[in-house]
A and B are shown apart, each in its own frame.
Chain A
Amino acid sequence: MKILVCISKTPDTTAKIAFTDNNTKFAEAGVQWIINPYDEWYALVRAIELKEADPSTVIHLVTVGGTDAEPIIRKALALGGDEAIRINTQPLESYQVAAEIAAVAKDYDLILVGKETIDYNGGAVGGMLAELLDLPFVANATNFQLAGTTATIKREIEGGEETIECPLPVVVSCQKGVAEARIPNMRGIMAARTKPLKVVEPAATEPLTEYRKFQLPPAKAGVKLVSPDNVDELVRLLHEEARAI
């Protein structure tokens, strides 16, 4: 069984969000980069759990990014994973990422992606990759079980969950519930230094969209405080002023 886990690099969840170059670029100065939480906590950890259950499993990691993505993919290797591929281009949008990954993702039994990147919030790479590879796709999985070559996957739907049975190969986007939380151990970090990290040149895909300009959301007017002894006043404000109830 061969698993491919797609790893992206995102700003730390507490990073200050600001823009430069006339608001056309994210201001990267001083920003700490992390593995996108959905990729690490759910996609990668589930792959590691599957390998623990069946040690013959092989886990490959892939990232589309420049040399600045190396610390991230190395950290992912330290968590688990047997080898990694870095596709050497700075991606500008989801389609480009999907097309680049599709070019190297031909013979995997299972492809795991995160639900979305926490910077551009596309949630699109998984579905695009599945279409490019002509594979089934389950979005926003909350549980993933495997018996032989059949996966049983739960996914979030409006107001509930759906259980789906699906033969491998399949592309699954992972969110909370798919894996148990775990903390990386030092041994893995040492071992990761010797694990292969292959750099491949991009297939040169044309992006179909372009991020033109960013802006910060309008600031809130400020909080209106109401005394705990006058809750009726809050309800009146919510009803008459905010028209929320």
Chain B
Amino acid sequence: MSVLIFVDQLDGHIKKASHEALTYGAKIAEQIGETAEAVVLGNTNEDLASLGQHGVKKVHHVQAEGLNQFDSQVYTKVLVQVAEQTGAKVIIFSNNSSGKALAPRVAVRLKAGLVAGATALPDTSNGFVVRKNVFSGKAIANVAIKSEIKVISLNVNAFTISQGEGTAEVVPFNATVDTAKTNVTGTSKTSGKVALTEADIVVSAGRGLKGPENWGMVEELADTLGAALACSRPVADAHWRPHNEHVGQTGIAVAPNLYIAIGISGAIQHLAGVNRSKTIVVINKDAEAPFFKAADYGIVGDAFDVVPKLTAAVQKLKGK
């Protein structure tokens, strides 16, 4: 019997979110007295044995031409075969672009209950209860999974990666692989240098910046911090910034270690997408801006004055 963790790749590299999921799955295995095993689909550039560092004992590697591009139907069939053969009791995904398509499908196929967007280890003292955010981070729910097999997708950035000693045994897995009905015809990278949903630090700006021509100083701050860029909805609606930078209730939800909000008022719909950030810094010239209530640190001041100073101060810290 196992706790099976799906390892997600981009261009043959394991995503950071999967390292979180591996750590999380290994902890659950320890908690319920099972072994943690991982599954990797398609070609990889990584040393899979090293995943043992997170506590997984075995890595099932399924290789087939048809697995080198993502298709949720094809992947699901393969994952179900691995889950059945390893007697998986709990199956872990990241709640990211792949996990959002796979976890619901795999759950249905295995008649398993799903908690999407878990934020903590399950409580197994009375049933199997998983904690997740609801109402866009405005509340927390404890959800019991009642089925024999359990599927969990773990929120990105919700669980700290731990790395110890250990090597996993890598075993090839022979699976029946269908032909996909979908065909990936292209991928494009978005504007920022760092992926928004994977970023540790996000620098975000709003209508207080007055116009797209003023984003230079925001980009400079983001570059200095190695941060991803984000914006409020009106900024994306006015095409000052691309729509994939829009965070909030109707945009992307992010939960970085550090979220810096510049010239954003902090409307409830904006907060809904960013309130899971560990530390929030607000820069706004209006001391009454609602965002300050949700912030850990703040500067009441003019962005055009504060942001360049902040960039310089960070550069100083980093000794550049």
Please list the residues of chain A having a beta carbon within 8 angstroms of any beta carbon in chain B: 11, 13-14, 17, 19, 37-38, 41, 93-95, 98, 118-128, 130-132, 134-140, 142, 152, 155-167, 170, 173, 175-177, 181, 207-217, 220-221, 223-228, 231-232, 234-239, 242, 244-245
Contact = CB atoms under 8 A, between A and B. Distances in A.
Contacts of B76: 131
Contact of A176 (B194, B251, B272): B251
Contacts of A139: 72, 97, 100-101
Contacts of A157: 10, 97, 187
Contact of A231 (B138, B201, B278, B306): B306
A167 B114 CA distance: 28
Given A135-B73, A136-B180, A217-B140, 12 more contacts: A124-B114, A132-B108, A157-B10, A161-B244, A163-B187, A170-B182, A207-B113, A217-B137, A223-B296, A225-B297, A226-B297, A242-B296
Contact of B257 (A123, A152, A244): A244
A223 B282 contact: yes
B145 A160 contact: no
B143 interface: yes
B207 interface: no
B187 A14 contact: no
Given A128-B104, A232-B316, A177 B282 contact: no
A131 B104 contact: yes
Contacts of B198: 158-159
Contacts of A170: 182
B1 interface: no
B313 A232 contact: yes
Interface residues of B, number: 102
Contacts of A131: 76, 104-105, 108-109
The DSSP consensus for interface residues of chain A is mixed
A244 B258 contact: yes
Given A118-B249, A128-B104, A245-B317, A155 B97 contact: yes
Contacts, number: 283
Contact of B190 (A14, A98, A159, A163): A159
B135 A228 contact: no
A208 B139 contact: no
Contacts of A38: 250
B68 to A, nearest CB: 13
Contact of B186 (A11, A162, A221, A244): A162
A132 B105 CA distance: 8
Given A166-B181, A209-B115, A234-B313, A176 B141 contact: no
A220 B100 contact: no
Among all A-B residue pairs, the 5 with the closest Cβ atoms: A127-B104, A159-B195, A228-B301, A208-B113, A244-B258
Contacts of A121: 116-117, 132-136
Given A138-B101, A158-B195, A216 B140 contact: yes
